[in-house]
Structure 1
Amino acid sequence: MQLELISHALCPFVHRACIMLREKGVEYSRRDVDLEAKPEWFLALSPRGKVPVLVADGTPLFESAAIVEFLDETHPPRLIPEEPFARARQRAWVEVASELLMTQYKTMMAATQAEFEAAAKTATAALARYDEALRKGELASDAFGLVEVATAPALFRFALLEERTGWSFWPRGSQVEAWARRLAARTSVTSSVSEDFPGLFMKLLADKNSYMARVRPAS
């Protein structure tokens, strides 16, 4: 199967698709687009004008969740459970992961202290939901499936933010911290972004006048 991923270097939803491609070990080409000046050929492929788009044997597929499931179905071994209840629960946690990414973005883009504190409170609460699920055994700390593919881009960025800015959103020593650090360091996760990703990521925060990029946390 010939695969081309239409992408953007910083998009976490593209990151999801790349992670699954890396996990499957399949060859693919990648073409980045400028989302500030979207070309007509891209808009013809993407009904919502968003990345990622996966062109599989000439057929364009859009939306990261659909792309990830397509790749899992067409490239064994399967990561997504066959059992209906388990599969439904994993899909539900994908929605939680998408909400986490949106919360993370608001936190990163907050320009004022008040905006940042409000967004950070929501981000911390979202991560606490994962911690509770891990403690209850609803999520497995050593698993790697659809939930982890969907959530890893956010966790990778939280770890990078902590390293580069000093801001941390998970409780020290918590199960979610250990889970997040394991996923953020997984080869498929780290190799799915460019070598200059950290610099590009921090430049984005600086260009957007991000509070996180300007202010260090109190020690």
Structure 2
Amino acid sequence: MSQTLLYSFRRCPYAMRARLALRYCGVPVEIVEVSLKAKPPEMLALSPKGTVPVLSVEGRVIEESLDIMQWALARHDPDDWLLQGDPAVSALIEENDQVFKHHLNRYKYAERYPEQPMEHYRAEGEVFLHKLEGLLADREYLLADHLSLADVALAPFVRQFAHVDRAWFAGALYGRLQVWLQRFLESPLFIAVMAKP
């Protein structure tokens, strides 16, 4: 059987969520840590777009983090991360990936977008944080009483947003979201996928 390889970058939120799903699903995979300044030619041969993650498995190349997660979960999903196909999962991930990520990039790299002050971009991103805070009103996770694909797909991006200005995030009125994020960051699953190679 051919080897399963994941080209990854440890701190990339897309690569993080792919590693989280592969580990949860018990897929044995060799992780190749990529230097974004010197991408390996083997990875570029598989995926010319040159972004991580890239999964090479059974003669297939899967180039999008969400596709990698779905591929792994189709094989093994012992705790029902897919929530039996609940469309709310994909809707929330789409809002994260299409809308929140746009504002996150501008907040994190505000100097590249001088049209508006950093606080403007943060306020735009906060619309999504408010929504997540509301979803956590009567449960510990976003869409169920247990971890789901939505939590795992979103947490690396919320983590990135929180880390732009940690003091601000710690003092912001997102008590439930702060607890949710901390629980995720302290989980054995996250700690395992973030171990330095």
Question: Normalising by the residue count of structure 1, what TM-score does the alignment of the two structures yield?
Answer: 0.73
CA displacement 1:115-154 (0-9 Å, x = unmatched): 3112111122220111223337793464211101101112
Look up the equivalent residue of 1:108 and give its one-letter code: K
Percent identity, aligned pairs only, is: 27
Q: RMSD in angstroms over aligned alpha carbons?
A: 2.9
Deviation at residue 24 of structure 1 after TM alignment: 2.2
Matched length: 191
**Map of 1:115 onto structure 2:** 117
Q: Is the 8 A contact 1:158 1:169 kept in 2?
A: no
Partners of 2:170 and 2:122 lie apart in 1 by 7
Partners of 2:171 and 2:74 lie apart in 1 by 33
Partners of 2:11 and 2:134 lie apart in 1 by 29
**Map of 2:152 onto structure 1:** 149
CA displacement 1:197-219 (0-9 Å, x = unmatched): xxxxxxxxxxxxxxxxxxxxxxx
Look up the equivalent residue of 2:142 and give its one-letter code: L
CA displacement 1:30-74 (0-9 Å, x = unmatched): 112233343443222125322111111232111011100000011
Partners of 1:139 and 1:79 lie apart in 2 by 12
CA displacement 1:97-129 (0-9 Å, x = unmatched): 223334223212122695311211112222011
**Map of 1:103 onto structure 2:** 103
Q: Is the 8 A contact 1:134 1:141 kept in 2?
A: no
**Map of 1:80 onto structure 2:** 82
Q: Is the 8 A contact 2:4 2:56 kept in 1?
A: yes
Deviation at residue 161 of structure 1 after TM alignment: 4.6
Rate the CA distance shift 1:161–1:37 in 2: closer, same or farther, 3 A.
same
CA displacement 1:8-36 (0-9 Å, x = unmatched): 22211000011112222332111122333
Question: Normalising by the residue count of structure 2, what TM-score does the alignment of the two structures yield?
Answer: 0.81
Give secondary structure in 1 for the equivalent of 2:28: coil
Give secondary structure in 1 for the equivalent of 2:83: coil
CA displacement 1:157-194 (0-9 Å, x = unmatched): 345455xx523177335322222222232221232224
Look up the equivalent residue of 2:117 and give its one-letter code: E
In the alignment, structure 2 segments of 5+ residues that lack a partner are none
Q: Is the 8 A contact 1:155 1:184 kept in 2?
A: no
Name which of 109, 129, 132 aligns with 1:130: 132
Rate the CA distance shift 1:104–1:11 in 2: closer, same or farther, 3 A.
same
Rate the CA distance shift 1:115–1:169 in 2: closer, same or farther, 3 A.
farther
